Amino acid sequence: MKIAIASSGNTLEAILDKSFGRCAYFVIFDTENQAIEFIPNPNKDVEENAGPASVQLIASKSVSKIVSHEFGMKIKPLLDSMKIQMIVLKEPGKQIREIIGMLNH
Amino acid sequence: MSPRIKTIRKVLNPPTIKGFKPYGPESFAQDMEPVNLLFEEYEALRLSDYDMLNHHQASVMMQVSRPTFTRIYASALQKIAKAFVEGRQISISGGKVYFDSDWYRCHGCHCYFNNPHKNEAIVNCPLCGDRQFTSFDYDNMNLEDKTLYNDDFFVCPHCGFEVKNQAGIPLNQQTCPDCNSLMN
Protein backbone atom coordinates (compact mmCIF):
# COMPACT_ATOMS: atom_id res chain seq x y z
CA MET A 1 0.00 0.00 0.00
CA LYS A 2 1.35 3.41 -0.96
CA ILE A 3 0.99 6.48 1.20
CA ALA A 4 1.74 10.05 0.11
CA ILE A 5 3.05 12.64 2.55
CA ALA A 6 3.28 16.37 1.83
CA SER A 7 6.85 17.35 2.68
CA SER A 8 8.67 20.66 2.80
CA GLY A 9 12.02 19.17 1.74
CA ASN A 10 13.64 16.15 0.12
CA THR A 11 15.23 14.61 3.18
CA LEU A 12 13.82 12.49 5.98
CA GLU A 13 14.54 15.37 8.37
CA ALA A 14 12.18 17.67 6.44
CA ILE A 15 8.94 18.57 8.15
CA LEU A 16 5.33 18.14 7.08
CA ASP A 17 4.33 20.94 4.70
CA LYS A 18 1.59 23.36 5.66
CA SER A 19 -0.25 22.86 2.39
CA PHE A 20 -0.93 19.85 0.22
CA GLY A 21 -1.32 21.38 -3.25
CA ARG A 22 1.74 23.62 -2.98
CA CYS A 23 4.05 21.50 -0.86
CA ALA A 24 7.69 21.33 -1.95
CA TYR A 25 7.98 17.54 -2.28
CA PHE A 26 5.68 14.56 -2.15
CA VAL A 27 6.96 11.55 -0.28
CA ILE A 28 5.62 8.28 -1.62
CA PHE A 29 6.09 5.61 0.98
CA ASP A 30 5.43 1.98 0.12
CA THR A 31 4.54 -0.05 3.21
CA GLU A 32 5.29 -3.38 1.51
CA ASN A 33 8.95 -2.88 0.58
CA GLN A 34 9.63 0.22 2.73
CA ALA A 35 10.60 2.17 -0.39
CA ILE A 36 10.66 5.94 -0.02
CA GLU A 37 10.46 8.15 -3.08
CA PHE A 38 10.68 11.95 -3.14
CA ILE A 39 8.87 13.68 -6.00
CA PRO A 40 9.35 17.44 -6.49
CA ASN A 41 5.99 19.14 -6.79
CA PRO A 42 5.62 20.83 -10.21
CA ASN A 43 2.65 22.80 -8.86
CA LYS A 44 4.61 24.49 -6.09
CA ASP A 45 4.29 28.02 -7.46
CA VAL A 46 1.11 27.69 -9.50
CA GLU A 47 -1.39 30.50 -8.92
CA GLU A 48 -4.55 28.47 -9.24
CA ASN A 49 -5.70 24.87 -9.07
CA ALA A 50 -2.51 23.54 -7.52
CA GLY A 51 -4.56 21.13 -5.42
CA PRO A 52 -6.39 19.28 -8.22
CA ALA A 53 -3.18 19.08 -10.29
CA SER A 54 -1.34 17.60 -7.31
CA VAL A 55 -4.15 15.12 -6.78
CA GLN A 56 -3.78 13.97 -10.39
CA LEU A 57 -0.04 13.45 -9.86
CA ILE A 58 -0.59 11.54 -6.64
CA ALA A 59 -3.42 9.45 -8.10
CA SER A 60 -1.17 8.41 -11.00
CA LYS A 61 1.12 6.78 -8.41
CA SER A 62 -1.87 4.70 -7.17
CA VAL A 63 -1.64 6.05 -3.65
CA SER A 64 -4.36 5.00 -1.22
CA LYS A 65 -3.74 7.44 1.64
CA ILE A 66 -2.46 10.99 1.91
CA VAL A 67 -1.01 12.62 5.03
CA SER A 68 -1.06 16.40 5.07
CA HIS A 69 -1.47 19.33 7.42
CA GLU A 70 -4.44 20.59 5.47
CA PHE A 71 -6.64 19.79 2.48
CA GLY A 72 -8.18 22.58 0.44
CA MET A 73 -11.82 22.77 -0.50
CA LYS A 74 -11.24 21.74 -4.11
CA ILE A 75 -9.36 18.60 -3.16
CA LYS A 76 -11.72 17.00 -0.71
CA PRO A 77 -14.53 16.00 -3.11
CA LEU A 78 -11.92 14.83 -5.64
CA LEU A 79 -10.26 12.52 -3.13
CA ASP A 80 -13.64 11.38 -1.87
CA SER A 81 -14.66 10.26 -5.36
CA MET A 82 -11.28 8.57 -5.89
CA LYS A 83 -11.64 6.77 -2.57
CA ILE A 84 -8.30 8.05 -1.32
CA GLN A 85 -8.17 8.40 2.43
CA MET A 86 -7.23 11.79 3.86
CA ILE A 87 -5.27 12.02 7.11
CA VAL A 88 -5.04 15.48 8.63
CA LEU A 89 -2.16 15.83 11.05
CA LYS A 90 -2.37 19.11 12.93
CA GLU A 91 1.11 18.92 14.38
CA PRO A 92 3.41 21.45 12.75
CA GLY A 93 7.07 20.49 12.79
CA LYS A 94 6.53 16.76 12.55
CA GLN A 95 9.42 15.23 10.62
CA ILE A 96 8.90 12.88 7.68
CA ARG A 97 11.01 10.28 9.51
CA GLU A 98 8.64 10.40 12.49
CA ILE A 99 5.56 10.09 10.29
CA ILE A 100 7.01 7.08 8.48
CA GLY A 101 7.80 5.60 11.87
CA MET A 102 4.18 6.06 12.87
CA LEU A 103 2.95 4.49 9.64
CA ASN A 104 5.02 1.38 10.44
CA HIS A 105 3.02 0.77 13.61
CA MET B 1 -44.79 4.06 23.70
CA SER B 2 -41.62 5.73 22.61
CA PRO B 3 -41.67 7.45 19.23
CA ARG B 4 -40.10 5.89 16.21
CA ILE B 5 -36.39 6.64 15.82
CA LYS B 6 -35.63 9.31 13.24
CA THR B 7 -33.56 8.33 10.21
CA ILE B 8 -30.33 10.23 10.04
CA ARG B 9 -30.46 12.97 7.43
CA LYS B 10 -27.59 13.72 5.08
CA VAL B 11 -26.51 17.34 4.84
CA LEU B 12 -24.02 18.31 2.15
CA ASN B 13 -22.75 21.60 3.51
CA PRO B 14 -23.29 23.21 6.86
CA PRO B 15 -24.65 26.76 6.58
CA THR B 16 -22.07 29.54 6.38
CA ILE B 17 -23.75 31.46 9.20
CA LYS B 18 -25.03 30.52 12.63
CA GLY B 19 -28.32 32.40 12.41
CA PHE B 20 -30.15 35.66 11.81
CA LYS B 21 -30.95 38.67 13.96
CA PRO B 22 -33.86 41.01 13.39
CA TYR B 23 -33.18 44.72 13.24
CA GLY B 24 -35.42 47.66 14.08
CA PRO B 25 -36.53 48.78 17.54
CA GLU B 26 -33.89 47.42 19.90
CA SER B 27 -36.25 46.32 22.62
CA PHE B 28 -38.29 44.21 20.28
CA ALA B 29 -35.82 41.40 19.79
CA GLN B 30 -34.53 41.39 23.36
CA ASP B 31 -35.28 38.58 25.77
CA MET B 32 -37.15 36.58 23.18
CA GLU B 33 -36.31 32.93 22.83
CA PRO B 34 -34.70 32.49 19.38
CA VAL B 35 -36.29 30.10 16.93
CA ASN B 36 -34.06 27.06 16.53
CA LEU B 37 -33.85 26.04 12.89
CA LEU B 38 -32.34 22.56 12.62
CA PHE B 39 -29.60 21.76 10.12
CA GLU B 40 -31.92 19.39 8.30
CA GLU B 41 -34.52 22.15 7.94
CA TYR B 42 -31.91 24.52 6.60
CA GLU B 43 -30.81 21.83 4.14
CA ALA B 44 -34.41 21.17 3.08
CA LEU B 45 -34.92 24.85 2.39
CA ARG B 46 -31.66 25.08 0.51
CA LEU B 47 -32.33 22.07 -1.71
CA SER B 48 -35.90 22.98 -2.39
CA ASP B 49 -35.85 26.76 -2.80
CA TYR B 50 -32.21 27.60 -3.54
CA ASP B 51 -31.17 24.63 -5.69
CA MET B 52 -34.76 24.43 -6.98
CA LEU B 53 -35.04 20.67 -6.68
CA ASN B 54 -38.42 19.06 -6.30
CA HIS B 55 -39.22 17.28 -3.08
CA HIS B 56 -38.48 13.87 -4.53
CA GLN B 57 -35.01 14.81 -5.79
CA ALA B 58 -34.26 16.62 -2.55
CA SER B 59 -35.38 13.68 -0.44
CA VAL B 60 -32.96 11.42 -2.33
CA MET B 61 -30.15 13.88 -1.62
CA MET B 62 -30.95 13.89 2.08
CA GLN B 63 -31.49 10.13 2.18
CA VAL B 64 -34.95 10.33 3.69
CA SER B 65 -38.34 9.42 2.25
CA ARG B 66 -40.28 11.95 0.20
CA PRO B 67 -43.02 12.44 2.87
CA THR B 68 -40.37 12.93 5.55
CA PHE B 69 -38.68 15.55 3.41
CA THR B 70 -41.98 17.38 3.00
CA ARG B 71 -42.48 17.35 6.77
CA ILE B 72 -38.98 18.72 7.38
CA TYR B 73 -39.59 21.41 4.77
CA ALA B 74 -42.98 22.37 6.23
CA SER B 75 -41.44 22.64 9.68
CA ALA B 76 -38.68 24.89 8.29
CA LEU B 77 -41.23 27.24 6.72
CA GLN B 78 -43.26 27.31 9.92
CA LYS B 79 -40.25 28.23 12.03
CA ILE B 80 -39.09 30.93 9.64
CA ALA B 81 -42.60 32.40 9.47
CA LYS B 82 -42.73 32.42 13.26
CA ALA B 83 -39.42 34.23 13.50
CA PHE B 84 -40.45 36.82 10.90
CA VAL B 85 -43.84 37.54 12.41
CA GLU B 86 -42.77 37.61 16.03
CA GLY B 87 -39.43 39.31 15.36
CA ARG B 88 -37.40 36.53 16.87
CA GLN B 89 -33.83 35.57 16.15
CA ILE B 90 -33.14 32.41 14.15
CA SER B 91 -30.34 30.17 15.30
CA ILE B 92 -29.32 27.32 13.02
CA SER B 93 -28.10 24.33 14.98
CA GLY B 94 -28.82 20.76 15.96
CA GLY B 95 -30.83 18.10 14.22
CA LYS B 96 -30.14 14.50 13.44
CA VAL B 97 -27.73 14.97 10.58
CA TYR B 98 -24.34 13.91 9.30
CA PHE B 99 -22.05 15.80 6.99
CA ASP B 100 -21.22 13.63 4.03
CA SER B 101 -17.94 11.72 4.51
CA ASP B 102 -17.44 10.34 8.01
CA TRP B 103 -14.51 11.81 9.89
CA TYR B 104 -12.70 10.40 12.89
CA ARG B 105 -10.19 11.69 15.39
CA CYS B 106 -7.44 9.45 16.73
CA HIS B 107 -6.66 9.64 20.45
CA GLY B 108 -3.11 8.38 20.01
CA CYS B 109 -1.62 10.79 17.49
CA HIS B 110 -4.39 13.43 17.43
CA CYS B 111 -4.81 13.21 13.69
CA TYR B 112 -8.10 13.47 11.82
CA PHE B 113 -8.97 11.00 9.10
CA ASN B 114 -11.96 10.11 6.97
CA ASN B 115 -13.38 6.82 5.84
CA PRO B 116 -13.47 6.75 2.04
CA HIS B 117 -14.95 3.25 1.95
CA LYS B 118 -18.30 3.83 3.57
CA ASN B 119 -19.23 0.15 3.70
CA GLU B 120 -16.16 -0.92 5.63
CA ALA B 121 -15.78 -0.08 9.29
CA ILE B 122 -12.47 1.39 10.46
CA VAL B 123 -10.58 -0.77 12.94
CA ASN B 124 -7.55 1.34 13.82
CA CYS B 125 -6.01 4.70 13.05
CA PRO B 126 -4.41 4.66 9.58
CA LEU B 127 -1.46 6.68 10.84
CA CYS B 128 -0.38 5.31 14.21
CA GLY B 129 -2.51 2.17 14.41
CA ASP B 130 -4.12 3.17 17.69
CA ARG B 131 -7.48 1.54 18.26
CA GLN B 132 -8.73 4.49 20.28
CA PHE B 133 -10.54 6.95 18.06
CA THR B 134 -13.85 8.72 18.11
CA SER B 135 -16.14 9.71 15.34
CA PHE B 136 -15.69 13.38 14.78
CA ASP B 137 -18.42 15.78 15.73
CA TYR B 138 -18.96 18.85 13.60
CA ASP B 139 -19.96 21.06 16.54
CA ASN B 140 -16.60 20.57 18.24
CA MET B 141 -14.61 21.53 15.20
CA ASN B 142 -12.59 24.73 15.10
CA LEU B 143 -12.85 27.18 12.23
CA GLU B 144 -9.76 25.90 10.49
CA ASP B 145 -11.16 22.42 10.19
CA LYS B 146 -14.41 23.64 8.71
CA THR B 147 -12.64 24.20 5.40
CA LEU B 148 -12.83 20.45 5.00
CA TYR B 149 -16.55 20.73 4.46
CA ASN B 150 -16.69 23.79 2.24
CA ASP B 151 -17.32 21.97 -1.01
CA ASP B 152 -20.40 21.70 -3.08
CA PHE B 153 -21.28 18.56 -4.95
CA PHE B 154 -24.18 16.41 -5.99
CA VAL B 155 -24.78 12.78 -5.26
CA CYS B 156 -26.02 10.59 -8.10
CA PRO B 157 -29.39 9.20 -6.97
CA HIS B 158 -28.78 5.95 -8.87
CA CYS B 159 -25.35 4.85 -7.70
CA GLY B 160 -24.33 7.35 -5.00
CA PHE B 161 -21.36 8.68 -6.96
CA GLU B 162 -20.46 12.23 -5.97
CA VAL B 163 -20.09 14.83 -8.69
CA LYS B 164 -18.73 18.28 -8.07
CA ASN B 165 -21.24 21.01 -8.67
CA GLN B 166 -20.48 22.93 -11.85
CA ALA B 167 -22.19 26.26 -11.93
CA GLY B 168 -24.40 26.85 -14.94
CA ILE B 169 -25.15 23.26 -15.86
CA PRO B 170 -28.53 22.11 -14.56
CA LEU B 171 -28.30 18.93 -12.58
CA ASN B 172 -31.01 17.20 -14.57
CA GLN B 173 -28.98 17.59 -17.78
CA GLN B 174 -25.84 16.04 -16.36
CA THR B 175 -25.03 12.39 -16.63
CA CYS B 176 -23.33 10.56 -13.82
CA PRO B 177 -19.70 9.76 -14.76
CA ASP B 178 -19.91 6.49 -12.89
CA CYS B 179 -23.15 4.85 -14.02
CA ASN B 180 -23.97 7.10 -17.02
CA SER B 181 -27.57 7.60 -16.01
CA LEU B 182 -29.19 11.02 -15.97
CA MET B 183 -28.79 12.74 -12.61
CA ASN B 184 -32.46 13.49 -12.04
In this prediction the ipTM stands at 0.79
Residue B19 and residue B61 in one domain? yes
Split into its structural domains, chain A has a count of: 1
Whether A72 and B147 lie within 8 Å, measured CB to CB:
yes
CATH number at residue A87: 3.30.420.130
Is residue A101 predicted with pLDDT exceeding 90? no
Q: By 3-state DSSP, what share of chain A in percent is helix, strand and coil, each rounded to 5? A: 25, 30, 45
- Which residue of A76, A98, A99, A103 to mutate against B (max B Cβ within 10 Å)? A76
Position B90 scores a pLDDT of 92
Residue B138 and residue B178 in one domain? no
Residue B4 in any domain: the answer is: no
Position B124 scores a pLDDT of 81
Q: What is the dihedral of CA B75, B77, B81, B84, to 10 degrees?
A: 110
Position B29 scores a pLDDT of 56
User: Which has more pLDDT, A91 or B183?
Assistant: A91
Residue B59 and residue B78 in one domain? yes
Residue B168 and residue B124 in one domain? no
B148 pLDDT tier (thresholds 50, 70, 90): very low
Q: With beta carbons less than 8 A apart as the criterion, state whether B50 and B76 touch.
A: no
Position B76 scores a pLDDT of 95
Position B184 scores a pLDDT of 62
Q: What is the mean pLDDT of residues B175-183?
A: 72
Whether A90 and B112 lie within 8 Å, measured CB to CB:
yes
Residue B166 in any domain: the answer is: yes
Position B154 scores a pLDDT of 65
What share of chain B has pLDDT > 90, as a percent?
23
Provide, as residue numbers in chain B, all residues whose Cβ is less than 8 Å from the Cβ of A103: 127
Provide, as residue numbers in chain B, all residues whose Cβ is less than 8 Å from the Cβ of A77: 151, 153, 162, 164
Residue B183 in any domain: the answer is: yes
Position A49 scores a pLDDT of 84
Which chain A residue lies closest to B148 (C-alpha atoms)?
A73
**Segments forming the whole domain that contains residue A19:** 2-103
pLDDT, tens digit (0-9, with 9 covering 90-100), for A30-86: 988 888 889 998 888 888 888 888 888 888 888 988 988 888 767 876 787 677 888
Round to whole Å and give the CA distance between A5 and A23. Answer: 10
**Segments forming the whole domain that contains residue B89:** 9-99
Residue B89 and residue B18 in one domain? yes
Q: In chain A, which residues touch B (CB < 8 A)?
A: 65, 67, 70-74, 76-81, 83-91, 99, 102-103, 105
Q: With beta carbons less than 8 A apart as the criterion, state whether B90 and B82 touch.
A: no
Residue B118 in any domain: the answer is: yes
Position B149 scores a pLDDT of 44
Provide, as residue numbers in chain A, all residues whose Cβ is less than 8 Å from the Cβ of B100: 80
Q: Does B164 touch chain A (CB under 8 A)?
A: yes
Provide, as residue numbers in chain B, all residues whose Cβ is less than 8 Å from the Cβ of A88: 111-113, 145, 148
Provide, as residue numbers in chain A, all residues whose Cβ is less than 8 Å from the Cβ of B144: 70
User: Which has more pLDDT, B17 or B35?
Assistant: B35
pLDDT, tens digit (0-9, with 9 covering 90-100), for B29-69: 567 889 999 989 999 999 999 989 999 989 988 888 999 99
Please choose, from the candidates B78, B92, B131, B116, the residue with its C-alpha nearest in 3D space to the C-alpha of residue B13.
B92
Residue B29 in any domain: the answer is: yes
Is residue B138 predicted with pLDDT exceeding 90? no
User: Which has more pLDDT, B173 or B20?
Assistant: B20
pLDDT, tens digit (0-9, with 9 covering 90-100), for B87-135: 889 999 888 776 666 677 888 888 888 877 655 777 788 888 778 877 7
Interface of B with A in 41-100 (CB under 8 A): 100
Residue B49 and residue B126 in one domain? no
Whether B127 and A99 lie within 8 Å, measured CB to CB:
yes
Q: What is the mean pLDDT of residues A92-105?
A: 83
Provide, as residue numbers in chain A, all residues whose Cβ is less than 8 Å from the Cβ of B147: 70-73
Which residue type is seen at B124? N
Residue B49 in any domain: the answer is: yes
Looking at CA atoms only, how far is residue A96 from chain B in angstroms? 12
Position B161 scores a pLDDT of 72
Whether B100 and A74 lie within 8 Å, measured CB to CB:
no
E strands present in chain B: 9-11, 19-20, 35-37, 90-92, 97-99, 103-106, 111-114, 133-135, 153-155, 162-164
Residue B50 in any domain: the answer is: yes
Position B83 scores a pLDDT of 92
